[in-house]
Amino acid sequence: MSTTQESAGGAERYRVSSLAVDPDASLSADDGWIDMEVRWLVTADTVGSKQTVVGRTVLKPGSKHDIHRHPHAEEWEYVVSGSAIKHVGDDSVRLETGDVVFVPANVFHGLENASDSEPVVTVWGYSGAATLEAAGYELPGGDQA
């Protein structure tokens, strides 16, 4: 994964250019990451974060992030462009460009592209964890990915 300029001094070492970060090729459809382009921007590895993750995701038409939960972190998701359906607990809400949604820790949630023709781009984050492993990632039925 490409990160910030490791040799840079000052505040530059905390800057991340989202398109300079490689998409995470390890994410599997078997674990609920259905045809998604996920880039981990702010993490313990990229900038030394202790309690924060920020990422950027592109979901093509037909793409989705299946229902899952993070036992140890809250999550928020902001729609940069496009439209999506966010599932939070037993409810679903349509999101449009400029909308943000909050998910409490340990609540099942998921996201799907609501368009048949346009991608949806989101910026999202975890509060309370600096990596996916620290946040926890559980599928319904107790399966851990």
Residue with structure tokens 């793409």? 63
Residue pair 96/40 in contact (Cβ under 8 Å)? The answer is: no
Domains present along the chain, CATH in parentheses? 10-135 (2.60.120.10)
Residue pair 82/97 in contact (Cβ under 8 Å)? The answer is: yes
Residue pair 51/98 in contact (Cβ under 8 Å)? The answer is: no
Question: How do residues 22-32 score in pLDDT, each as one tens digit?
Answer: 999 999 999 99
Cα–Cα separations (whole angstroms), residue 109 to 13, 31, 74, 89, 90:
33, 14, 11, 6, 9
Q: Across 1-145, where does the E strand assignment appear?
A: 33-42, 52-68, 74-81, 83-88, 91-96, 100-103, 109-113, 120-127
pTM of the model: 0.89
102 has pLDDT over 70: yes
104 has pLDDT over 70: yes
CA dist 104 and 115 (Å) reads: 26
142 has pLDDT over 90: no
